[in-house]
Structure 1
Amino acid sequence: MAAISFTSDARASRNIAFWLFFVMITVITMIVFGGATRLTNSGLSITEWEPITGILPPLSHEAWMAEFEKYKQIPEFEAEHPDMTLAGFEFIYFMEWGHRILGRVIGLAYMLPLLYFTFKRKLPRGKAWLFWLVFFLICLQGFIGWWMVYSGLDGVSVSQYRLATHLGMAFIIVGLLFWFWRDAREGWPKTTGRPFMSKRTGVLAVLIFVQIILGAFVAGTKSGLSYNTWPLMDGRLIPGGYGVMNPFWKNWFENTAAIQFNHRMLAYIILAVGIWVFISARQSRHLRGPVTVLSLLILWQVVLGIITLLTGGVMHPWWDIHIELALFHQFSSILVYLAALWVWRSALVNRV
């Protein structure tokens, strides 16, 4: 068994671990909140990006009416909410406003302790740039969020490409926070694990990340509202019209049938690879626990995805069972993803 080297004192590591865990939980909350914002058609309710003045919501009836009038000028109002009242607008406005405020909170919650740990030289030697990289990604995520919203102001929904970019960046950030949190908890061990298991677990983690991106395309194109049958798609294994778009690659990102089919098939592949990893790790006391947790979460996520599909997807703009299932499915994807990173990291840190 390879020795584990430690590069930071225990007290500093505990403080850094607590900070990273707090920020990680807020980012997870942000992802779920973002899903609720999208599912309630709230994302386009604020038609301007004002990083400073946008901190405060409208504070008078006149200010609310002014914001409502701005919303009425975009196509989504006529397409989705032509009969909306001011009270209804206030609801979707506060959903989007809360999402943006939470983004600012995450930025401050990460930046202020980062400055402290940097100036006090508490960050592990040679790793400070990784912490600043995360800060850069958090800032970049704010720009990506507005870039996504801006794509929807001339239509009835945001670009699925930009939605996938926004969600993908969120998962990259939460993944880095999780990885560094585990490192801090364990005294910054070197990753010198068994190549055999690290490759398999790494492949599984990457497949789960790709599946999350495919899920963003399902959400962005509302592909979950069609083909609400399982295991076949309206009586066929491969749905009709899978490859009708030219060039062919556009089907994967813009064709409802192809997007949902690919999401289904990758779920089966992940389940199979998960079983492969589970069997491979059964002789390792160190990996057995994490792999068992991951395997159960993958199975749960597949079942939850099927249930969400069979309910008919999200059919209404307000809270109902469909939205709750969709949000639960998204939250579960975070758990699966973090469990996959846990398994991968456990394979890399050689303590078998």
Structure 2
Amino acid sequence: MSSPLETSRTDTRPIAIWLLGVAALVALMVVVGGLTRLTGSGLSITEWKPVTGSIPPLSAEMWQEEFDKYRQIPQYQLVNKGMSLDEFKTIYWWEWGHRFLGRLIGLAFFVPFVWFLATGRLRGRLAWVCAGLFVLGGMQGFMGWYMVASGLTERVSVSQYRLAAHLGLAFLIFAALVWVALDILRGTADEIHRRWVGWTGGLVLLVYVQIVLGAFVAGLDAGMIYNTWPLMDGAFIPDGIYTVPAAAFEQHLTVQFNHRMVAYLIAILTVIFCWRVVAAGADRLQRRAAMWFATAISVQILIGIWTLVAVVPVWLGGLHQFGAVIVLGVAMVQLHIAVHGTPDAGRTQALARA
């Protein structure tokens, strides 16, 4: 009798494709969110209406009403005072698009989820895992509003802490979607590469930490200053770092310094890891994964340096954020290979039937 967890790839491949499609939408959401922040648009919609908010203003009166609401918050009064209605419409459409994409992702997940359940393709442990992913998506929607709310009363921008939580959860959802899809497509039978789990798991963790640190840089606009490389304020290790409480999260100098140093640490560990993989005679799949990861890291660091010295133009900032998605995605593939090796299709165990 077959194991209750066994299923064929034919049965579950559409589920994997669906999850990867949602992951691609989450990646797009991350980039659009970054561009929304870089264009100063994130506070243009001052209310959270999960359902009715999907309809934009449809008349001159409705546009004026939205503009009047925006003119009541500190960002308008202290930063954008005198903004025209047409200028407001530009930032409004960025934020509306960001929120609309979030709603679209919810539908893109929920409708196929219900259909797969109804047709019996999604069941057992995999069904519960997917339900958990849906709950995380709902939490992300709430976290987005919680972040926006921090900039509506006393601040002219959102809290960097809430921004980091919002972005960190988005990347966590993306990583989970990719991992579950890989479990389905590749299976989980073999464990031939477990010797590399520590290295690959550590690199995934560092990449995630670096992404969160990048959110603090973004939240404080810390990339707009100290725009030289490799020196920072005239030194590799500048004076004045860690001189105030909570400097790692609130001091511009320290926040940017941390982001630089973790990037260097990831680069060094990646070189060591690749050398060890080659020297140990690891198989072709593991070597290829390591090289792809090293390439992604190298390109992302170069884009990061370019973004910094160019003083964060909007398009480069968006590209750098997209690069972070690619790095994490490649890192998750590398970790999956390390944990599960190359499962034999005839012995594949997926997550699902019970």
Q: Could you say if the C-alpha distance between residues 191 and 54 of structure 1 is closer, same or farther in structure 2, counting changes exceeding 3 Å?
A: farther
Residue 80 of structure 1: how far off its partner (Å): 2.5
Could you tell me how far apart the structure 1 residues matched to 2:342 and 2:168 are?
31
Q: Does structure 1 residue 323 correspond to structure 2 residue 323?
A: no
Output aligned runs, 1:45-60, within 5 Å. Answer: 45-60=44-59
Could you tell me how far apart the structure 2 residues matched to 1:16 and 1:351 are?
20
Residue 179 of structure 1: how far off its partner (Å): 1.1
Output aligned runs, 1:1-352, within 5 Å. Answer: 7-123=6-122, 125-154=124-153, 155-186=155-186, 188-190=187-189, 192-246=191-245, 250-282=246-278, 283-284=281-282, 285-313=284-312, 322-351=313-342
TM-score by length of 2: 0.91
Residue 241 of structure 1: how far off its partner (Å): 1.8
Q: Could you say if the C-alpha distance between residues 191 and 128 of structure 1 is closer, same or farther in structure 2, counting changes exceeding 3 Å?
A: farther
Could you tell me how far apart the structure 1 residues matched to 2:122 and 2:270 are?
35
SS of residue matched to 1:7: coil
- Count, aligned residues: 336
- 2:200–2:331: 8 Å Cα contact kept in structure 1? yes
Could you tell me how far apart the structure 1 residues matched to 2:87 and 2:7 are?
52
Residue 303 of structure 1: how far off its partner (Å): 1.2
Residue 191 of structure 1: how far off its partner (Å): 6.3
Residue 125 of structure 1: how far off its partner (Å): 4.0
Could you tell me how far apart the structure 1 residues matched to 2:60 and 2:143 are?
31
Q: Which deviations, in whole Å up to 9, do the C-alpha atoms of 1:97-121 show, x marking residues without a partner?
A: 1111111111111011112222333
SS of residue matched to 1:157: coil
Could you tell me how far apart the structure 2 residues matched to 1:190 and 1:63 are?
58
Residue 222 of structure 1: how far off its partner (Å): 0.6
- 2:45–2:70: 8 Å Cα contact kept in structure 1? yes
SS of residue matched to 2:125: coil
- 1:205–1:337: 8 Å Cα contact kept in structure 2? yes
Q: Could you say if the C-alpha distance between residues 35 and 232 of structure 1 is closer, same or farther in structure 2, counting changes exceeding 3 Å?
A: same
- 1:8–1:123: 8 Å Cα contact kept in structure 2? no
Unaligned segments of structure 1, at least 5 residues: 314-321
Q: Which deviations, in whole Å up to 9, do the C-alpha atoms of 1:96-149 show, x marking residues without a partner?
A: 111111111111110111122223331364332211110000011000000000
Could you tell me how far apart the structure 2 residues matched to 1:224 and 1:334 are?
19
- 1:193–1:349: 8 Å Cα contact kept in structure 2? yes
Unaligned segments of structure 2, at least 5 residues: 344-354
Residue type of the partner of 1:259?
V
SS of residue matched to 1:126: helix
Residue 230 of structure 1: how far off its partner (Å): 1.1
Structure 2 match to 1:317: none
Q: Report 1 or 2 for greater relative contact order, CA contacts < 8 Å, sequence distance ≥ 6.
A: 2
Residue 11 of structure 1: how far off its partner (Å): 2.5
Residue type of the partner of 2:198?
K
Residue 75 of structure 1: how far off its partner (Å): 0.6
SS of residue matched to 1:281: helix
Could you tell me how far apart the structure 1 residues matched to 2:124 and 2:188 are?
12
Could you tell me how far apart the structure 1 residues matched to 2:49 and 2:123 are?
36
Residue type of the partner of 1:281?
V
Residue 227 of structure 1: how far off its partner (Å): 0.9
- 1:8–1:125: 8 Å Cα contact kept in structure 2? no
- 1:168–1:212: 8 Å Cα contact kept in structure 2? yes
Q: Which deviations, in whole Å up to 9, do the C-alpha atoms of 1:43-78 show, x marking residues without a partner?
A: 100000011111111111011001101100101012
Q: Which deviations, in whole Å up to 9, do the C-alpha atoms of 1:158-178 show, x marking residues without a partner?
A: 000000000000001111111
Q: CA RMSD in A?
A: 1.6
Could you tell me how far apart the structure 2 residues matched to 1:7 and 1:99 are?
39
- 1:28–1:174: 8 Å Cα contact kept in structure 2? yes
Could you tell me how far apart the structure 1 residues matched to 2:329 and 2:91 are?
30
Residue 6 of structure 1: how far off its partner (Å): 7.7
Could you tell me how far apart the structure 1 residues matched to 2:315 and 2:96 are?
21
